[in-house]
Amino acid sequence: MSDFEPVLTEHIHQKDCHTLSFYKSVGGYTALEKVLKMNPAEVTQEVKDSNLRGRGGAGFPAGIKWGFIPKDTDKPKYLINNADESEPGTFKDRLLMNKVPHQMLEGMIIAAYAIGCQTSFIYIRGEFYKEFKMLEMAVDEAYESNLLGQNILGSNYNLDVVIHRGAGAYICGEETGLIESLEGKRGWPRIKPPFPAIEGYLQSPTIVNNVETLSCIPHIITRGASWFKSIGPEKGPGPRLFCISGRVNNPGVFEEPMGIALKDLIFERAGGIPDGKKLKAVFPGGSSSAILTAEEALDVNMDFDELVEKKTMLGSAGVIVMDETVDMVQACLNIARFYAHESCGQCTPCREGTGWLVKMLTRLVNGGGTPKDIDMIFEITDNIGGLIDFSKGSFGKTICPFGEAVAWPVRSFVEKFKDEFLAYLPKEKVVA
Amino acid sequence: MNSNGTPKQKFIFTDSGRMEKILSQYPDKRSATLPLLHLAQTQEGFITGAIIDAVAQYTEIHPAEVMDCVSFYTMFFRRPLGTNKLQVCQTLSCSLNGADDFVDHITQKYGTKPGETTSDGKFTLLKVECLGSCGTAPVIQINNDYHEGLSINELDKLLDSIP
Ligand SMILES: Cc1cc2nc3c(=O)[nH]c(=O)nc-3n(C[C@H](O)[C@H](O)[C@H](O)COP(=O)(O)O)c2cc1C
Ligand code: SF4
Ligand code: FES
């Protein structure tokens, strides 16, 4: 693994790496030239063969998703680049947009060509204003060089890219909430099926892919599916941007092969924990993943399937590190408050349950908790996100996976650090 | 007429070129709702009733449907704010790196609690959720710009430098 060379971030330290001329000088848009001579089914097949799995959170294989687009329809097809990046602990798409917007754009054009799309969107979170301006510049450059617009590079293929700003709502990162938002509505996730590939934006077949997923595409085309598959675990391979934040000496985005040991990420890449403190717990894949204790974290690889076995997930690869100074009840309350604020309010268990979690945890922190509260917290998480039994998959008590995204982490805090929750109970009420 | 009997002011987009461009970009008109609201808010500072009516007209939906959006998204404001929005991220990675001190400090410095505006109208303090920049925590967004990894001293200097 030590001989791994960054792929997606190879050039980010170079001057003007965001410009079209720089990107072309390092081989940019040659993948597109190649693709425009292939037939779309071949492009999809190459991506399928690479085993590229989505970098947005769910880890669904990109090529298989593209393959769901109906072939026999007169409806227009849409591609949406999910640049909503709002999962706490995740800040990699922002880097890609700031430093190598053309890599992502080239990936978009290739994906759009593969699915037969002529209008595509970048849904970027509203707060990312600088990145929005950066993308505007990149898109303008691409139009000027006939990489977008009519008859791209003389191929008869036409594509427009529209940059659409969100307006502050975590749930618009969920693909159907995103689609509703793009349609000019509140970002209320839709009941699935139908999945967006069949009925998405304006009831037409739609593919939603993450910025990082799309950024991988040009490299797969240029270097081939088998090259990609050879990096890390074969079932979930490729380079991956790991975001590390929280209590570490050197937080940031690190590009590493899929499957790297979490302990190497924390102690080597991110320089370990400040002031010689001890590791306590880690979110391996954004705040929606169940936390790992220090012991679990030191013994796990950042691989989709291995993390599922450990009853958590790789998610958006947003690693949040907590050291021994962190109060786990306060941290749990912080996360619960985030979800209560961001619940879209459509499903009762989620809307009410997240509110209750915050109320109960606040009461506990303020010294007003009772021993029954701990069981009650478990009960509420069950009601929102189902009992955690990964072998049975998602329990689907809510319209979208946000329900699980709050239930799992909150539950993992209480299960794994129960002593700290009990310690907050007023002394005379503790029953042995 | 408004409900209180005063004649309604019509909202006019000053950057009509941009407005037309937005409307022409989408396969349907309603999809232009959010971008038109952003454009209008940039012009006016907050979302007025007249803006809601104007956006409804251009997107050919009911004003209530526009209002539905305005109330859903945290970046749209229905009331005037201070000239500068101080938006302090309070989510976990920022909280573990001193964000709570930011809020306390600003509150003390200007006597404004989160959600409030200073009496001179210069600043509004807002607590916000993860800004997608956790590696450079604590993060404060002032208007459109991110300021990352500041110490309290640096925050002070920055705030004092805002004219
Ligand atoms: C609550 C919630 C929030 C999400 N937020 C994001 C996000 O900010 N960015 C993103 O790319 N995907 C996000 N997703 C995942 C998307 O629904 C979708 O799976 C993804 O964009 C598909 O792209 P990919 O297959 O390339 O990963 C979120 C999912 C859920 C349930
Ligand atoms: S689970 Fe929560 S966020 Fe998802 S649709 Fe239901 S209420 Fe909205
Ligand atoms: S937690 Fe503050 S930017 Fe993510």
**B54-99 pLDDT tens trace:** 999 999 999 999 999 999 999 999 999 999 999 999 999 999 999 9
Ligand number nearest to the C-alpha of B99: 3
With an 8 Å Cβ cutoff, are B38 and A90 in contact? no
Same domain, B92 and B37: no
Assess if residue B4 is contained within a domain. no
CB contact under 8 A, A88 and B26: no
Residue pairs spanning A and B at CB distance below 8 A: 141
Instruction: Point out the domain boundary residue: B37, B72, B107.
Output: B72
Domain of residue B40, CATH code:
1.10.10.1590
Closest Cα in chain B to A165: B35
- Co-location of B30 and B88 in the same domain: no
ipTM computed for the complex: 0.96
CB B47 within 8 A of CB B40: yes
Q: Does B41 touch chain A (CB under 8 A)?
A: no
Residue labelled with tokens 């720089």: A22
B135 CB neighbours in chain A (<8 A) are: 91, 243-245, 251-253
- Domain with B38 in it: 16-72
B42 and B94 share a domain? no
Query: Does residue B53 belong to any structural domain of this protein?
Result: yes
The structure tokens 């209180």 sit at B4
Give yes or no for B137 touching A (CB within 8 A). yes
Residues B29 and B96 in one domain: no
Q: Chain B: give the shortest CA distance to residue A282, in Å.
A: 12
Would you tell me how many other CB atoms lie within 10 Å of the CB of residue A155? 14
The predicted model scores a pTM of 0.96
Q: Domain count of chain B?
A: 2
Nearest-5° Cα angle at A369, A363 to A370: 155
Three-state DSSP at B73 gives: coil
CA of A243 to the centre of ligand 3 (A): 12
Q: How far apart are CA A425 and CA A368, in angstroms?
A: 7
Amino acid letter, A381:
T
Among residues B72, B94, B111, which one ends one of the domains?
Answer: B72
A61 within 8 A of A207, measured Cβ to Cβ: no
User: Which of A98, A124, A127 is the best mutation test for B, with the most CBs of B within 10 A?
Assistant: A127
Question: Is B27 contained in some domain?
Answer: yes
Q: How far is CA A266 from CA A9, A137, A263, in A?
A: 19, 35, 5
User: What is the predicted pLDDT for the residue at A90?
Assistant: 98
CB contact under 8 A, A246 and B93: yes
Residue located via tokens 């892919």? A209
Q: What CATH code is carried by the domain that includes residue B95? A: 3.40.30.10
Distances (CA, A) of B121 to A99, B45, B124, B126, B135: 36, 13, 8, 14, 32
Residue B163 has pLDDT above 50, yes or no: yes
How many whole angstroms from B95 Cα to the centroid of ligand 3?
8
- Which tokens sit at A335? 């996360």
B residues 66-125 closer than 8 Å to A (CB): 68-69, 72-76, 90-93, 95-97
Report if residue B117 sits inside a domain. Answer: yes
Q: Does B30 touch chain A (CB under 8 A)?
A: yes
Specify the residue for token string 């594509």. A159
Nearest CA to ligand 1 atom 10: A56
Give CA–CA dist A291/A417, Å, rounded: 10
Same domain? For B92 and B120 the reply is yes
Same-domain status, B97 and B62: no
B141 Cβ under 8 Å from any chain A Cβ: yes
Ligand 2 atom with least separation from CA of A400: 4
B94, B114: one domain: yes
- Regarding whether B134 and B90 lie in a shared domain, the answer is yes
Nearest to B91 among A76, A181, A338 (CB): A338
Q: What is the pLDDT of residue B121?
A: 95
pLDDT at B102: 94
Q: Is residue B36 part of a domain?
A: yes
Nearest CA to ligand 2 atom 4: A400
Of B45, B72, B99, the position where a domain reaches its end is B72
From the CB of B139, is ligand 3 less than 6 Å away?
A: yes
Kindly state whether residues B100 and B61 are assigned to the same domain.
Answer: no
Q: Do B137 and A165 touch (CB under 8 A)?
A: no
Residue B79 lies in a domain: no
Instruction: Provide the CB-side half-sphere exposure for A220 (13 A, CA).
Output: 31
In a domain, B136, yes or no: yes
**What share of chain B has pLDDT > 90, as a percent?**
94
Give tens-digit pLDDT for B47-58.
Answer: 999 999 999 999
Which of A94, A164, A326 lies nearest to residue B132, judging by beta carbons? Answer: A94
> B96: which chain A residues are within 8 Å (Cβ-Cβ)?
246-247, 322, 326, 331
Q: How far is the CA of A153 from the centre of ligand 3 (A)?
A: 41
pLDDT computed for residue A393 by the predictor: 47
- Residues B88, B33, single domain; the answer is no
Residue pair A262/A298 in contact by the 8 Å Cβ criterion: yes
Q: Do A127 and B141 touch (CB under 8 A)?
A: yes
Distance in angstroms (rounded) separating the CA atoms of residues A201 and A121 = 10
Q: Do A342 and B96 touch (CB under 8 A)?
A: no
Q: Do A129 and B144 touch (CB under 8 A)?
A: yes
Q: Tell me: the pLDDT tens digits for B128-141?
A: 999 999 999 999 99
A165 touches chain B (CB under 8 A): yes
Pair B96, B150 in one domain: yes
CA distance A408 to A305: 17
Mutate to test the pocket of ligand 2, among A84, A179, A344 (most ligand atoms within 8 A of CB): A344
- B75 neighbourhood in chain A, CB within 8 Å: 126-127, 167-168
Which residues does a 6 A CB cutoff place in the pocket of ligand 1? A 54-58, 60, 62, 82, 84-87, 171, 173-175, 208-210, 213, 400-402, 405
Chain A residue with minimum CA distance to B76? A167
Q: Residue-wise pLDDT tens for chain A (432 aa)?
A: 457 999 999 999 999 999 999 999 999 999 999 999 999 999 999 999 999 999 999 999 999 999 999 999 999 999 999 999 999 999 999 999 999 999 999 999 999 999 999 999 999 999 999 999 999 999 999 999 999 999 999 999 999 999 999 999 999 999 999 999 999 999 999 999 999 999 999 999 999 999 999 999 999 999 999 999 999 999 999 999 999 999 999 999 999 999 999 999 999 999 999 999 999 999 999 999 999 999 999 999 999 999 999 999 999 999 999 999 999 999 999 999 999 999 999 999 999 999 999 999 999 999 999 989 999 999 999 889 865 555 554 457 889 999 999 999 999 999 999 999 999 999 865 555
What is residue B5's predicted lDDT score, i.e. its pLDDT?
58
Q: Of all protein residues, whose CA lies closest to atom 25 belonging to ligand 1?
A: A54
A88 and B129 within 8 Å at the Cβ level: the answer is yes
Same domain, B57 and B91: no
State whether A245 and B25 contact (CB < 8 Å).
Answer: no
Whether chain B has a CB inside 8 Å of the CB on A246: the answer is: yes
B110 falls within a domain: yes
